[in-house]
Amino acid sequence: MATILRDWSYRYQWLYDGISGFAALSVGGETRFRQLALQGLTINSETKILDLCCGSGQATQFLVKFSQNVTGLDASPLSLKRAQQNVPSAAYVEAFAENMPFTDCEFDVVHTSVALHEMQSEQLRKIITEVYRVLKPGGVFTVVDFHAPTNPLFWPGVSLFLLLFETETAWELLKTDLAGLLAETGFEVGEPKLYAGGSLQVIQGRK
């Protein structure tokens, strides 16, 4: 599945940012979208935050407004090079999310934005376990990602988006109880908050 548009969106950052900015209109725009998962958290300049699968720094640029202690991790050297240029005040690490080069209990917050839908199911479980490991006790894992729309009017738009830009792992995520997976790993987690006709979920899990 997916089309050439997926490759282009990763090759040309302006295309990725344009599409994500357009999609973010469904929740009131990019600024609101990027902060949805942080609602209710106490973050200060010392809060140690990991932006997991940070891409070119699309969420990182908002995280550095709250904390001076932000690290972005991604597996793509090209994305990290762009992130370094776009948001130089963060630190960056090239690694796989399922095997992070961090010690146990290092971060107060791990944030991941529209990335978990790219993972195979076993990989997703490993990543959640890794996030649990690197979070301090009481630390929070914040996730924003796709969810199966609860409003039928959103299905055509979401389906078209997934067909054009995503692979089968995104369709799998729609059928996955992500909050349940966090709970199985040991996180204290409530019901996901849904936005954009239910097509977007926000989860906060506390270690």
Ligand X SMILES: C[S@@+](CC[C@H](N)C(=O)[O-])C[C@H]1O[C@@H](n2cnc3c(N)ncnc32)[C@H](O)[C@@H]1O
3 vs 151 by CB, closer to ligand X: 3
Per CB under 6 A, 79 contacts ligand X: yes
128: phi > 0 → left, psi -120 to 50 → alpha, else beta; which? Answer: alpha
Under rule CB under 6 A, residue 54 binds ligand X = yes
Structure tokens of 25? Answer: 């209109």
Which residue, 76 or 197, has its beta carbon nearer to ligand X? 76
Binding mask 9-28 for ligand X (x = CB under 6 A): -----------x--------
**Minimum CB separation from ligand X for residue 152, in Å?**
26
Contact between 59 and ligand X (CB under 6 A)? Answer: yes
Residue closest to ligand X, measured at CB: 55
Our finding on whether 100 is near ligand X (CB under 6 A) is no
Q: Does 203 bind ligand X (CB under 6 A)?
A: no
Name the 3-class secondary structure at 64.
Answer: helix
Q: How far apart are CA 84 and CA 121, in angstroms?
A: 30
Please provide residue 69's backbone torsions phi and psi, each rounded to the nearest 5 degrees: -125, 60
Provide the terminal-to-terminal Cα distance of the chain, rounded to the nearest Å: 36
Say how far apart CA 47 and CA 116 lie, in whole Å.
23
Among 36-44, 95-103, 129-137, 172-180, the segment contacting ligand X (CB under 6 A): 95-103
Buried b (16+ CB within 10 A) or exposed e, 157-185: ebeebbeebbeebbbebbebebbebbeeb
Binding mask 108-147 for ligand X (x = CB under 6 A): -----xxx--x-----------------------------
| 75 lies in the site for ligand X, by CB under 6 A | yes
- Listed residue (143, 107, 140, 105) closest to 124, CA to CA: 143
- E strand intervals along 115-186: 135-146
Nearer to ligand X, 58 or 69 (CB): 58
Verify binding: residue 91, ligand X, rule CB under 6 A.
Answer: no
Regarding 87 and contact with ligand X (CB under 6 A), the answer is no
Binding site for ligand X (CB under 6 A): 20, 53-55, 58-59, 74-76, 79, 96-98, 113-115, 118
